[in-house]
């Protein structure tokens, strides 16, 4: 039997495909802390935004904090990425 190695990001991304708020929030944490890679505030904002839209209040707070440290262009890009993700989820 072949063994497949997955990072925590891979596992969470698979879970997030179903749009579960906690999985989306966890992806935001991964990207804002740089766990499993480098810090990416645009991606973090995107995932916190999606989680917040699904009712995660903590994601709302994190999204606001990130937005304070991001340029308006970066926030707009994160929002665009969130909309694109929503258009691919059924």
Instruction: Name the residue ranges covered by the structural domains of the chain.
Output: 8-88
The model's pTM: 0.83
* Model pLDDT for residues 8-63, shown as the tens digit of each residue: 666 666 666 777 888 899 999 999 999 878 899 999 999 999 999 999 999 999 99
**pLDDT level of residue 72 (50, 70, 90 thresholds):** very high
Question: What backbone torsions phi and psi does residue 51 show, to the nearest 5 degrees?
Answer: -65, -40
């Amino acid at each position: 039997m072949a063994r497949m190695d997955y990072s925590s990001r891979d596992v969470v991304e698979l879970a997030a495909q179903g749009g579960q708020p906690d999985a989306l929030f966890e992806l935001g944490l991964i990207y804002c802390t740089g766990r499993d890679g480098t810090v990416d505030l645009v991606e973090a904002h995107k995932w916190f935004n999606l989680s917040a839209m699904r009712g995660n209040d903590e994601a709302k707070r994190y999204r606001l904090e990130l937005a304070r440290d991001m340029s308006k262009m970066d926030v707009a890009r994160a929002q665009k990425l969130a909309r694109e993700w929503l258009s691919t989820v059924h």
